[in-house]
Amino acid sequence: MKYEAVIGLEVHAQLLTDSKLFCGCSTKFGSDPNTQVCQICLGMPGVLPVLNRKAVEYAVKMALAVNCKVNHKSVFARKNYFYPDLPKGYQISQYNEPLTEKGFLDIDLEAGRKRIGITRIHMEEDAGKLLHGEGIEDANYSFVDLNRTGVPLIEIVSEPDMRTSEEAQAYLRALRDILVYLEICSGNMEEGSFRCDANVSIRPVGAEKLGTKAELKNMNSFKFVKEAIDYEIQRQIDIVENGGKVVQETRLFDSAKGITASMRSKEEAHDYRYFPEPDLLPLFVEDKLIEDCRSKLPELPQQKRERFISEYGIPAYDAGVLTATKELAHYYESVVKATGEPKLSSNWIMGELLRLLKEDNKDVKDCPITPEAIASLIEMVKKGEISGKMAKEVFEDMYKTGKAPAEIVKSKGMSQISNEDELGKIIEGIIAANPENAERYRAGKVQLMGFFVGETMKATKGQANPGVVNKILKQKLG
Ligand code: ADP
Ligand code: MG
Ligand code: ZN
């Protein structure tokens, strides 16, 4: 029997508002524990939440970016459960009337484009954080930090439209890129600002009915998402092949062991005793807010990629790399403007610049090389003043010192010899010193061209322009 996997993702994205969803506390990451809390986010009796308008705008922007319908009326609901990091005993979320629903996201795979349905995007508040075990003050205790309590989240729920871990990864990356382009989420998985639960089931290929799913949690990198899903698919196939049944449950991924392990049996919606939040009015979103948000949407990653391909004629691969962030894409466009050379500019940025930035763990906004400097470097290579190899060395110096390429070439005495008379004399000397090889070349052993090029390079300490050398050698030997 052949099986296929069915995967649906629930993604939580922390919104980059300055204050929390229902109070004025700061959302800043990494502050001392429990310094960003107040009566409201601590859930003291009798306090009243007030909705953060900016968070609503951010959620609407995301909804529009993934083609969701924004509901004019939505309702906040209490989701009741007990957690030590949830002092209220309930989380304010949205349930049967979410802010937005029914969208889709197109993802690009090697096999082509695939549309993934988005069921809904709703707003909710984050819970606090528990710290236990090693690395904290006293490993015998667990600690709770409530700074995160009440930080705004959107939960983006997909349809069960994915079939492989690669598709899930591509979907997640595309979602994250959009959130970061919109500047509404940092997208940082390690800090937990962008989190994903994966629902996985299997069914015989060709079957319509969905199998029983397991929900996977605790995957804080794209790599772990893939590993966890792949492990889980195989685990379920093994169960079914051995005559067993998959049980519905929540499983935790253990990244050290590369396995998923049962955490708890899956709770059902009715376990949460959802009911409309009595302290908040229904949320009414007017058309004006939606249209304002729509008019502020930036060019999104996929649109930018497509425009780069059609406008600059660069390969899809280049376009993908260059649009990885808005800042990099902007830098690339400024370089093209300065050089008039889309593909050469792409080569310099993808090949050299990104390598250097990565070595230093830096971002393109820290890049000291101006677009104009890259333009003059390309110009010098074109004119034959320096070789391509020299240019790479110059580029590294430009990166380290921020100096102009001409200045670096001059101070290093690096210029290339392109003068035909000068090279002609040197080459005549080399031919005269190697009469047998010249004879053999003329008799048809054309591979000896390499030998003469090598000798010329040696004689000029690598400074001869290879194009000119080849041309003169052909004349003089031919
Ligand atoms: P629950 O109520 O258990 O949270 P939902 O219906 O809300 O389940 O779905 C949660 C997520 O699980 C969604 O992303 C959905 O696409 C996905 N999902 C639902 N059923 C399955 C299934 N049988 N296999 C894989 N994913 C599923
Ligand atoms: Mg769910
Ligand atoms: Zn607060």
Give residue 199 CA to ligand 1 midpoint distance, Å.
6
Atom of ligand 1 nearest to the CA of 159: 16
Question: In whole angstroms, what is the distance from residue 184 CA to residue 55 CA?
Answer: 9
Q: What is the pLDDT of residues 396-447, one digit of tens each?
A: 999 999 999 999 988 887 777 888 898 899 999 999 999 999 999 999 898 9
Give residue 271 CA to ligand 1 midpoint distance, Å.
16
171 in helix, strand or coil?
helix
Name the residue with higher pLDDT: 244 or 270: 244
- Judged by its nearest atom, the ligand closest to the C-alpha of residue 211 is 1
Report the candidate in 182, 155, 186 with the shortest Cα–Cα distance to residue 28. 186
DSSP state of 258: T
Candidate from 12, 156, 199 with most ligand 1 atoms within 8 A of CB, to mutate: 199
Q: What is the pLDDT of residues 31-43, one digit of tens each?
A: 999 999 999 999 9
Question: In whole angstroms, what is the distance from residue 158 CA to residue 11 CA?
Answer: 8
Question: In whole numbers, what is the pLDDT of the chain averaged over residues?
Answer: 94
Pocket of ligand 1 (CB under 6 A): 6-10, 157-160, 199-201, 210-211, 213, 269
Residue 135 has pLDDT above 70, yes or no: no
Is the separation of the CB atoms in 170 and 163 below 8 Å? no
Question: In whole angstroms, what is the distance from residue 445 CA to residue 477 CA?
Answer: 12
Q: What is the pLDDT of residues 350-367, one digit of tens each?
A: 999 999 999 999 999 999
Residue with tokens 């002092």: 87
365: buried, middle or exposed (CB in 10 Å: 19+, 13-18, 0-12)?
Answer: exposed
CATH of 420-477, one of 2.40.50.140, 1.10.10.410, 1.10.510.10, 3.40.605.10: 1.10.10.410
Is the separation of the CB atoms in 3 and 37 below 8 Å? no
Strand 152-158 with 3-14, pairing: antiparallel
Question: In whole angstroms, what is the distance from residue 285 CA to residue 422 CA?
Answer: 76
- pLDDT at site 388: 86
Give residue 255 CA to ligand 2 midpoint distance, Å.
23
Residue extent(s) of CATH 1.10.10.410 domains in the chain: 420-477
Q: How many CA atoms lie within 13 A of 39 on its CB side?
A: 7
Q: How confident is the model at residue 384 (pLDDT cuts 50, 70, 90)?
A: confident
Radius of gyration in angstroms for the set of CA atoms belonging to the chain, rounded to a whole number:
30
